[in-house]
A and B are shown apart, each in its own frame.
Chain A
Amino acid sequence: GQQLNQSPQSMFIQEGEDVSMNCTSSSIFNTWLWYKQDPGEGPVLLIALYKAGELTSNGRLTAQFGTTRKDSFLNISASIPSDVGIYFCAGTYAGNNRKLIWGLGTSLAVNP
């Protein structure tokens, strides 16, 4: 079945640093979503992208829908300790209805 490759798998950074992570697919996606999961909680939607090339921000977070429609990127600027968690990319492609295909997640640790 369809899979998403998300990288890096984990990151350990200093507070104040910028963070980048990305997700790639083997086929064209028509929707990309970025979620964050805290321990013991469900994924929380951060940003939704619907058009190739679209760049959307949510506070210090910025995500882009790749122009090839096979990738997406998430950047976090000036990281703070509460950014700690697991970040997931997810998406849908034509013909799979609305079921989300997920990456394995990027675990982010921030050193104060």
Chain B
Amino acid sequence: EAGVTQFPSHSVIEKGQTVTLRCDPISGHDNLYWYRRVMGKEIKFLLHFVKESKQDESGMPNNRFLAERTGGTYSTLKVQPAELEDSGVYFCASSPGTYYEQYFGPGTRLTVT
């Protein structure tokens, strides 16, 4: 069974540009989560999808971040326009319907210069 995959693995962009991160969850997992780790800080929750619906987006930093999960399969996280403080590692995780155990992808390291 394939694990959670994320693309790209690294992205370096300039302040003001747009970046879109993609996450493909484990097949059949209804729950999809985005997290972010900023250097020196703890991993922080961004949002949670159940199928294609946003269950909880309380961790989204501001309206420059837009997450979508079309058709309840893969998800994208767009940052527009990117700011320096958006740099960090963005993780995606997925879990089956009733479980709390979350399985993580390798992350996308975003650097905003």
Interface positions of A (Cβ within 8 A of B): 3-4, 31, 33, 35, 40-45, 48, 50, 88, 90, 92, 97-105
Task: Check: B43 CB closer than 8 A to any chain A CB.
Answer: yes
A102–B48 touching, CB < 8 Å: no
Chain A residues contacting B65 (CB-CB under 8 Å) are: none
Q: Which of A40, A98, A102 contacts B95 (CB 8 A)?
A: A98
Alpha-carbon gap, A41 to B42, bound state (A): 16
The count of residues in chain B whose C-beta lies closer than 8 Å to any C-beta of chain A is 26
Tell me the dominant secondary structure on chain B's binding face. strand
Alpha-carbon gap, A84 to B45, bound state (A): 25
A42–B100 touching, CB < 8 Å: no
Q: Which of A31, A42, A48, A98 contacts B4 (CB 8 A)?
A: A42
Alpha-carbon gap, A100 to B48, bound state (A): 10
